[in-house]
Amino acid sequence: MGLIEEIKSVAKLVQEAGKLELYEKLLKAQEEALVLLQENRELKEEIKKLKEALTNQEQLLFENNMYWLNKHDGKEGPFCSRCWDINHKLARKHNWSDGDGYKCPACNTYIEIKHRPPQRIQPLYY
């Protein structure tokens, strides 16, 4: 039996015994317990979101002006750098413009990937 059910059960017994003052105090305690239970639920949800954000932060790679999640089976993404940097939300970018660009559906940021041939680095001679 949960806390609220216990308070209801005791309140019913007190009401039947005619102890109105004690009954009112139990009703007030029940209301306060409901508020505490709601706060507890909200705090647990916030903790869950913070843990998820921390895990994502540790797994994020920044490449080609976009974020990628580094997973054990490869990279996942791409995700919008603007949405993550400002709101800490992972918004998946969508392919746009024949596969050469990506657009964020949340903030409309557009990134175009320039395909360039690999460049050879010339050694420096002194």
Report pLDDT for 115.
Answer: 58
List the single range of 13-17, 64-68, 103-107 with lowest mean pLDDT.
13-17
Quote the CA–CA distance of 26 and 89 in Å, as a whole number. Answer: 43
User: At a CB cut-off of 8 Å and minimum separation 6, what does 17 contact?
Assistant: none
84: three-class secondary structure by DSSP: helix
Average pLDDT rounded to a whole number, residues 92-116: 81
Whole-model pTM: value is 0.51
Q: Give the pLDDT confidence of 31-90 residue by residue, as tens digits.
A: 898 899 999 999 999 999 888 877 777 788 888 888 888 887 888 889 999 998 898 888
Domain locations in the chain?
3-53, 64-112
> From CA 94, how far away is CA 100, in angstroms rounded?
11
The sign one gets for the Cα dihedral 74, 76, 78, 80 is: negative
Residue labelled with tokens 């993550």: 84
